[in-house]
Structure 1
Amino acid sequence: MKLRSYLLLANTISIAFIIVLLLVFFQYMLVTREQLIWLGLATVAAGIVSAFLFFLLIRPLEASVRRVGEGAGRIAAGELEARVDRTGLAEFRLLADQFNQMGASLEQSFRQVKAAESAQRELVANMAHDLRTPLASMQSYAEALEDGVIEDDATYRRYLATIRSETVRLNELIQDLFELSTLDRRTDDQVENVPAVLEDVLLELHPRFSMGLDAKGLQLRVRLPERSLRVNMLARHLQRILQNLIENAIRYSPHNGIIVIAAEEREDGVIRVSITDEGAGIAESERERIFERFYRTDRARSRESGGAGIGLSIAKLLVEQYGGRIGVEQAEGQGSRFWFTVNEAQGNQ
């Protein structure tokens, strides 16, 4: 039953009830016949006027309800950007506001779902490539060794070394994926703030990069304040951040280039650490996306460079979980400067 019909029926029932009461009063001689007639006519007239007023007043209500219904139908048909005009009585304006908020939330949720689906397809494609490349290399070298086509000992050892290096590469990729999923599940309450000493972490990391630095003839320069810098971050997490950023700098630095690691203290109790290289640099339009997982630019993040596109994502997650920020900027001259901030530990001397 429509709202108009419902209200008219309610009005008719009330008029009929009044007339029945008048007849009862007449039956028990509480009113005269003449009074009954006049009261009956007055009741019918009032009912007609009331019905007319109902008809006039119900039209804007019906229009407001119709607008909400049409908006709901458009959203149900997939038109998630549909909105309702904010007109009519205060209650219907409030209803329109709530409906529009619901529509905006649904539209945003739908976009997030589409973005997640796109990211999932991209992740699968990137993973397939990054896993297939070392596997194919290992398979070809293993088949060559199995067929006995390698006769000299030097080539034989070189093939074994290649298989081993590709195995290490696969293990690192799987470890990166595992760590990325672990960081996604970690909450702020699970972050421990055990101070780490920046120079100690750098000293421990240096041997890991010596081969990469020597292979490209790179110089590594470290510029730290005279006193030790203690930061509110677990040593292994600080080590992971620095390792990913330094590996990135080595990967994209030209031969015989210079990599500079620097740290500075700010007055607000924050330490800013930067890693600067002399590579090709990153376009300004891509600096925001460079920390997205599996993202690569045509120049600085090419597949041929060997990066899987996960290291910077892990660094970003770790930095932000400790309340810091991370970014990249153009270095003086040529190259990129990756930086992150971390809170200084209390009682730093």
Structure 2
Amino acid sequence: MKLRSYLLLANTISIMFIIILLLVFFRYMLLSKEQFIWLTLATVSAGLVSGLLHFLLVRPLEAAVRRVGEGAGRIASGDLEARVEHTGLKEFKLLAEQFNHMGSSLQKSFAQVKAAEYAQRELIANMAHDLRTPLASVQSYVEAIEDDVIQDEETFKRYLGTIRSETIRLGELIQDLFELSTLNAEKREPGELRLATVTVEDILVELLPRFTKPFEAKLLQLRVKLPHRPLLLTIQPRHLQRVLQNLLENAVRHSPRGGWIIIEAEEMNGHTEKFIRFTVSDEGEGVLEEERERIFERFYRSDRSRSRESGGAGLGLSIAKLLVEQYGGKIGVQQSSPQGSTFWFTVHEAAEGGEDTVNRKKSRRGVT
């Protein structure tokens, strides 16, 4: 039943009830005939006026309800941009406002779902691309060995070395994917993290020897610049090490033969707390300005870095970004002078006297 019909029916029932009461009063001589006639006419007249008013006043209510219904129908048919006009009584304006807010939320959620689906398709496509190349290489070299194509021992060892390096590359890619998914699943606020106090010198002393062979292979030179006093940070050691490792791997990958890589840490004072700003600079081809935001997206690589020789999986920088931001820090890249790139990130400095100051007078132990 429509709202208008419902109200008119209620009005008619009220009038009939009054007339029945008047008949009862007349039947028991409580009213004279003349009084009964005048009261009946007055009741019918009031009923007609009430019905007319109902008819006129219900129309805007029906229009407001119809607009909401039409908007709901458009959203149900897939038009998430459907909105309702804010007109009518205060209650219907509030209803329209809430309806429009619901529509905006649905549109935003649908856009997020589409973006997630696109990211998932892109992730699968990139994974297939990055897994296919080393797998194809391993397969071709293994088939060559199985078919006794290799006759001399030197070529045989070279093939085995290539197979080994490609399997390592596959393992690193799988480990990066696992770590990236773990970081996304366990993303926490800085206050929820289990913090530890570490010294920058200890991290570098443990990390830098891993890069001896890559540096020797490209004849690279390393320079480390640290403040005179030991730097204490509130971060899990393995996380700081992973960030520096990823940035160093990126610097080595894009550095020219015989180039310099510079690691620097400097103290910076904020409004309420201190933090340390790390930079890793190289003398490579640099990063275009329009790519400096996207370069931290997973699997993103510029065209110049997609070659087999210099292209990584495109996960290292996104992992570094997740780790840094998880501790409330920031990360970015800027152009070096006169060439190359400088990747930087910030980490909060530990409070003075925290965790027995981790041997404040500890020597630099080989960091030069």
TM superposition score normalised by structure 1: 0.96
Do structure 1's residue 305 and structure 2's residue 307 form an aligned pair?
no
- Equivalent position of 1:191 in the other structure: 193
Q: Give yes or no for contact 1:289–1:295 (8 Å, CA) kept in 2.
A: yes
Aligned residues: 349
In 1, Cα distance between equivalents of 2:308 and 2:106: 37
C-alpha distance after superposition, 1:60-109 (max 9, x if no partner): 11111111111111111111111111111111111111111111111111
Do structure 1's residue 239 and structure 2's residue 244 form an aligned pair?
no
In 1, Cα distance between equivalents of 2:338 and 2:74: 55
- SS of residue matched to 1:275: strand
C-alpha distance after superposition, 1:111-154 (max 9, x if no partner): 11111111111111111111111111111111111112212211
By how many angstroms is 1:190 displaced? 5.3
- SS of residue matched to 1:227: coil
Percent of paired sites with the same residue: 68
Q: Give yes or no for contact 1:296–1:302 (8 Å, CA) kept in 2.
A: no
Give runs of aligned pairs for residues 1-349 of structure 1, distance below 5 A.
1-186=1-186, 187-188=188-189, 191-268=193-270, 269-300=274-305, 305-347=310-352
Q: Is the deviation greater in 73-82 or in 281-290?
A: 281-290
Q: Give yes or no for contact 2:180–2:319 (8 Å, CA) kept in 1.
A: yes
**In the alignment, residue 347 of structure 1 is paired with which amino acid?**
E
In 2, Cα distance between equivalents of 1:6 and 1:302: 74
TM superposition score normalised by structure 2: 0.91
In 1, Cα distance between equivalents of 2:260 and 2:144: 39
In 1, Cα distance between equivalents of 2:78 and 2:338: 51
User: Where do 5+ consecutive residues of structure 1 fail to align?
Assistant: none
Q: Give yes or no for contact 2:305–2:311 (8 Å, CA) kept in 1.
A: no
CA RMSD of aligned residues (A): 1.5
Q: Give yes or no for contact 1:281–1:300 (8 Å, CA) kept in 2.
A: no
By how many angstroms is 1:306 displaced? 3.3
In 2, Cα distance between equivalents of 1:52 and 1:78: 39
In 1, Cα distance between equivalents of 2:308 and 2:115: 23
In 1, Cα distance between equivalents of 2:67 and 2:256: 64
**In the alignment, residue 265 of structure 2 is paired with which amino acid?**
A
- Label 1:300 to 1:167 Cα distance change in 2 as closer, same or farther (>3 A): closer
